Amino acid sequence: MDAPASKTSTAPNWRSLRFLAGALAGFAVPLLLAECYARVRPPADILQYLGERSPLAGGYRPDAALGADYRSYADFQRENADRLDKMGPLDSPGPTWLWLGNSFVQAPGMLADTAQAALPGVRMFHLGRNEPINLRAAQARLLLENGLRPRRIIFVILPIDAAAVGLHPFSSILVNRNGALTYRVRMPAEPLASLIRHSRLALVAWVRSGRQQTDPSFHATQIDSAPTPSIMADLRAAIHSLGDDSRKYGATVTVLLIPDREQIHGQSRFPVQDAVAGMCRDEGIDCFDARQIFLDAGDKPSLFLPDWHFTPRGNRMLLAGLLAHFDAAKPAGEAAAQ
């Protein structure tokens, strides 16, 4: 009498198990497919976090102080062949100024072009591309090692450059075996760390959350109020590298500090500029802080293009201030352009 009841009671259990198995497969199969796809074709935004597993390649090598350096001048020359051809031979006998900075310096119509128009007898040497602060310092060293003898090296720093260091400290840089710049991933506590190490899909989620950064609490807007000790240490390493180059090659280095729009409009302070100026004094490097030029300027909106780069007026003012700084440091009778 009890057997039929037993069969009847187990039937729903089998149906429940089949439903559960189907539900699990419904979740697992898409996840498995996504994991496979992320491994075969990793999204572009995580390639720089794959280290030795990254397909990226480049011409860099690790550097203990700057995080990365150029592997060789031959690699550098191949990567920048068109621009180097335009600039002419490194050992040109004519006067040369080497400019190292971001788009405020190197973009068409910006400071380097403004200087070239004002001083046509001086070769304004720059590569027309943005580089982070550590690679600018490495670039100066590489060019000097290979024969460039500029009358001046002008190393430009804006707060946005220091903010980039906050997002990617020198210590986070991992140059893989292919010479590519990649970045170490900050890991959470276990067991999530193991999941991220072994699952490409989990790594994608972690990177896109922004928690992979060395200091995930850092935001670029902090740079005008509270630069971190890590940022200050990295800026000091770059300035120290410039100081070494200046002493080794007899190069005249000027660190040019340019304010950002918030500073020019009186909306933030100048902690980066103040700190870097002190670093330059410690290294015996010339420094020109251009803040007062812009703080004293009238009609401040006319200083900026819609993308917040400087207009021709802003660049002319900046160049005039820099040349006046050079003239003030020159013995009587010498011109700043020499």
pLDDT in tens, 77-91: 999 999 999 999 999
pTM of the model: 0.87
**What's 269's DSSP letter?**
-
Start and end residues for every CATH 3.40.50.1110 domain found in the chain: 80-169+219-329
Range list of β-strands (E), 83-191: 96-100, 123-125, 152-157, 173-175, 181-183
Please state the rounded mean pLDDT for residues 243-261.
Answer: 96
pLDDT over 70 for what percent of the chain?
Answer: 88
Q: How many CB atoms lie within 10 A of CB 288?
A: 21
CA–CA gap between residue 225 and residue 92 (Å, rounded): 43
Q: How many CB atoms lie within 10 A of CB 81?
A: 10
CA–CA gap between residue 27 and residue 286 (Å, rounded): 62
The correct CATH number of 80-169+219-329 out of 3.40.50.2300, 2.30.140.10, 3.40.50.1110, 1.10.10.10 is 3.40.50.1110
For residue 97, which of 333, 326, 279, 332 has the smallest C-alpha distance? 326
Q: Which residue has the higher pLDDT, 289 or 221?
A: 289
CA–CA gap between residue 80 and residue 26 (Å, rounded): 51
* Residue 16, pLDDT score: 63
pLDDT in tens, 297-309: 999 999 999 999 9
Range list of β-strands (E), the chain: 60-63, 67-70, 96-100, 123-125, 152-157, 173-175, 181-183, 253-257, 286-289
HSE at residue 137, side-chain half, CA atoms within 13 A, is 24
